[in-house]
Amino acid sequence: MGFADLLEEAGGVGVFQLINMVLLALPFFMLASHNVIQNFSAAIPEHHCKVQLHCNYSHCVNLTVSQIQRLLIPLDNQKKLEKCLQFPAPQWDLLNMDSAYLNMTSREMVPCKDGWTYDTSEYSSTIVSEWDLVCESRSLKEIAQTVYMSGVLGGGIIFGQLSDRFGRRTVLLWSNLQMAVAGTCAAYSPLFALYCVFRFLTGMALSGIILNVFSLNIEWIPSKIRVVTCIGLGYCHTFGQLILAGYAYKIREWHRLQLIASAPFYFFFLYTWWIPESARWLVLNKKSKEAVKQLKRVTKLNGRPEVVKRLTPEVIEANMEKEIKESESSYRITDVLRRPGMRRITCCLLCTWFSTSFSFYGLAMDLQGFGASVYLMQVVFGVVDIPFNIISLLLISLIGRRFTQASSLIFSGVSILANIFVPKEMQVMRISFAVFGKGCVSGAFICAYLYTLELYPTVIRQTGLGFVSTMARLGAMVAPLVKLTGDYASFLPLLIYGTAPIITGIVVCFLPETRNTQIPDTIEEAEDRLLIVELLKPVILGE
C-alpha cells in the first residue's frame, strides 16, 4: 500500500477533490495575463516629434497643426511623419509643396529635441508613451519583458526549493500575495526602473503559483485522473488568453490594465487559507499528526466517516513506509548528467524546452507586428491552442512521443521561416503561417511535459523536470531581445525564431520512444532502456 491507497479510502475523486481542483485552477485564468500583458500595456502608439513653432511674424499665427508639422517634421518613405527625426529649423519652402514631390534626403535632420507626441485614439496610455520608450530607448521595452521572464526563472529555482522545505500551501499563499502586491505596485510605478523591479517580482510569484498549484493538485488526486487534471489546467491558461483580450479591449489605459490583472490575486490569497497542505508532503517531512488532521478533514468532506476512525499517524506511516524510505535516498541534480544515457536525454530535453519556449514567446509577444488588431490576434492565438492541443494528444497516443515532439517543432520552425518570404501586404497569409506555428509550438509544450516525465526515472524525475524546464524560462528571457536584431536586418528575428525549433526537432530524433513502455524507476533501468534501443536500431532500420 501507499499514499494512493489512502486517497482511495478517503473517497478517491470526491467532493473535496472537485472543490480543490476548481479553486486551484482559478489563478491559471489570470496567469496568462501577466505573461503576455505587454502586448497591450507596452504597445507602441503612433508617434512623432513634439514640435512647437516659435515665430514673431503675423503669418505664423494662422498656421494649422499639420502645417507646423510639415515645417518641422520630415516625411518617411511612406509619406508619413518621421517617428524619431525633426528639422533643426522650419523649412518654409515645404509649406506649399505637394507632398508627393517632397525630397527629404538632402535636408539636415536631428533627433527629437522636446520629446514625442503620441496618438491616443487606440491606446490612451502605455508604458511606451509613459516613459518615451521609442527611438533610441525602444530596446527598453523588450528589456522590460526580459526582466519579467528572468523573474519567472528565478522564482522557479527559489520557490521550488522553498516549497519542498516549508510546504506547498505556505509558498502558494506567499506567491499569491506577492503577485497581488507587486502587480499593484507595478501599475502605479512612477519610474521605469521601479516598474521593472515589480515586474520581476510578479514573474517570481507566477512560478511559485504554477509549481505549487500543480503539486497540490497532483498530490491530492488519484493517479488515474492526473493527466486529465494537468490538461485542464493547460486549458485554463488558454482561456486566460481570451479573457485578457476581452478586458484589454475595454481598458486602454495601462495602469488600470495592470491593476485588473493583479487584483484577483488578493482574492486567491484569501481562499488559499482553506486549501489543506499536501498530506503526502507532511508525512515525508515527519509531520504525521498534521497529515492525519488534513486527511480526516478530506475524508469527512468526501462522506466517508467510517474511514476517519482508522486514520492514525501509525497507520499512515505504515502505509507509506516505502515512500518514506525512498525520500531518504539522496539524489542530486548532477545525476541527470552523470551517465552517458542520462546526458543524452538531458541535453536533448534542454534543447527542446529552450526552443519551444523561445519560439512561443517570439510569436506571442509580437502581435503588433502583424499589422492587424492586437485584440483580434490575441483571441486567434488563444483559440488556436484548443484544436492543436487535442491533435497533439491524439498523435502522442496513436503514433508516439518522439514523432509528435519532433514534427511539432519542425513544422513550427518552417511556418515561422515561411513568413520571411511573404510580403507584408499579404497580411492574411502572414497571419495564417504565424497562427499555424503558434499552434504547433503549443502542441510541442504539451508533449514536452509528458515526454520528460516518461524519460526520466522515478528517483530523479522531479529533479530532471525542474532542471530542463528552466531552459524554457531562459528561452522566454532571450526571445524579446532577439527582436532587436531586426534593427540590422528585418528578416533576422524570424530566421532565428524559425531555425531554433527545426534544429531541435532533428535533435529530438536521438531520444528513445516511450509510448507503450514501462516508466523506469531507477537510473539503471533508464540506461538499460537506451541500450536496448541502440541494439534494436539496426533491426528497425533493416540493416
Closest to 15 measured CA to CA, from 221, 199, 203, 187: 221
Residue type at 61 in one-letter notation: V
Closest to 300 measured CA to CA, from 292, 310, 308, 290: 308
Percent above pLDDT 70 for the chain: 87
pLDDT of residue 203: 92
pLDDT of residue 382: 84
Domain boundaries, the chain: 1-33+129-329, 47-118, 331-543
Q: Which CATH architecture has domain 331-543?
A: Up-down Bundle (1.20)
68/18 Cα distance (integer angstroms): 65
* CA 532 vs CA 186, 310, 481, 539: distances in Å: 54, 46, 42, 11
58/73 Cα distance (integer angstroms): 22
> Residue 493 in contact with residue 482, Cβ under 8 Å?
yes
287/455 Cα distance (integer angstroms): 32
Question: In this predicted model, what pLDDT tens digit does every residue of 41-71 receive, in sequence order?
Answer: 988 888 888 887 766 555 566 777 777 887 7
Which stretches of the chain score pLDDT less than 50?
538-543
Closest to 92 measured CA to CA, from 62, 71, 119: 71
Same fold, 1-33+129-329 and 331-543: yes
Q: Cβ-count burial of 357 within 10 angstroms (0-12 exposed, 13-18 middle, 19+ buried)? A: buried
Question: In this predicted model, what pLDDT tens digit does every residue of 167-220 receive, in sequence order?
Answer: 888 989 999 999 999 999 999 999 999 999 999 999 999 988 888 887 788 777
107/90 Cα distance (integer angstroms): 11
Percent above pLDDT 90 for the chain: 20
DSSP letter string, 437-470? HHHHHHHHHHHHHHHHHHHS-GGGHHHHHHHHHH
> Domain 1-33+129-329 belongs to what topology?
Growth Hormone; Chain: A; (1.20.1250)
Residue type at 127 in one-letter notation: I
- Residue 111 CA from chain centroid, whole number: 36
pTM: 0.82
Neighbours of 32 (CB within 10 A): 22
Helix (H, G, I), strand (E, B) or coil at 45: coil
pLDDT of residue 543: 45
> Residue 74 in contact with residue 109, Cβ under 8 Å?
yes
SS3 annotation, 385-435: HHHHHHHHHHHHHHCCHHHHHHHHHHHHHHHHHHCCCCCCCCHHHHHHHHH
415/301 Cα distance (integer angstroms): 50
